[in-house]
Amino acid sequence: MIDILIIEDNEQLQKYLCDCLRTFDYMPHVLVDYDDLLNTLNRIKPKLILLDINLPKFDGFYYLKQIQKITSVPIIMISARNDESEQIRGIEGGAYDYITKPFSIGVLMAKINALLSHNTSNDEYLQVGDLILSKTCMTLEFNAKILKLSKNEYKILNLLLERPSHCFSRDEILEALWDDASFVDDNTLTVNMTRVKKKLNQLGLKQVILTKRGMGYAFVMENS
C-alpha cells in the first residue's frame, strides 16, 4: 500500500481523511509530534503529504520548507485560507497543489489518484530500492537525505538507474553525456564518474557503481 502522511491538527478531519484514503487502498499516517517531523518522514517514507497551514507552533509554510530540505515528496496543501496570495505562496513555495476548505473529497481523491498514478509511471523520478532520482529537480534522495546533482551527474545516474545491474560501456555513457563523444577525452568520463560516486558516498551508498574492466560501469544495489 502507498503511504500518505497527514499533517492536520483537526481530529475530525484527520479521521475523515484517513477513512477516505483507506477506501482507496492507501495507508494514511497522522503526524502526532510536530517536533518529530523529520524522523517521521524517515520512518514512513510517504509518497505524498497532505499539509494544513493553520497548525500548532508553526504554520504550514514553515513545515513546507523543512520538508523540502530533505525530500522531494509531493505535497498538497489543504487550508481554510482561500486568498489567492496564499495559494500562490504555497505553489511558488513548492507545493504540488493547494486546496481550500471546505473541499470536495471526490475532487481531492481524484487529484491524489492522478498524482500518484503519474508518479508511479516514472515520468518524474526513477527509483531503485530506497534511492530516488528526481528527473524534474535533478536531485538524489536516500533515507530522507537529498542532494543536488550537476547536469552530468544527473545524466550518468539517469542512464545507470534505468537498467540496474546492466553494464554500460564507456562509449554508451559518453554518448548520454555528449551528442558527439568522438572528441571527448576519455579521462573526462572518469572525472565525472568519480563525482557521481562521491555523491552516492555522501548518502551512505558505497561501492554501488561497479567498474568492470574492459566493459564499463554498472549500478548494483542490494534489493534493487
Residue 103 pLDDT: 84
Cell of 190: 572518469
Cα(219)–Cα(134) distance, integer angstroms: 17
What phi and psi values does residue 126 have, to the nearest 5 degrees? -115, 140
Residue 208 pLDDT: 94
Element (H, E) at 87: helix 84-92
Instruction: Calculate the CA 36 to chain-centre distance.
Output: 20
Residue 121 pLDDT: 43
Residue 184 pLDDT: 59
Residue 119 reports pLDDT greater than 70: no
Question: Which long-range contacts does 8-11 make (Cβ < 8 Å, 24+ apart)?
Answer: 8/50, 8/51, 8/52, 8/55, 8/78, 9/52, 9/54, 9/55, 9/56, 10/52
Q: Does 56 sit behind a cis peptide bond, omega within 30 degrees of 0 on the bond before it?
A: no
Residues for the chain: how many in total? 224
Q: How far is CA 175 from CA 138, 160, 196, in A?
A: 19, 13, 17
175 contact partners, CB below 8 Å, separation of at least 6: 181
Mean pLDDT of 26-32: 94
| Sequence-ordered alpha helix ranges (H) in 100-150 | 105-120
User: 118 falls in which pLDDT band (50, 70, 90)?
Assistant: low
What phi and psi values does residue 183 have, to the nearest 5 degrees? -105, 10
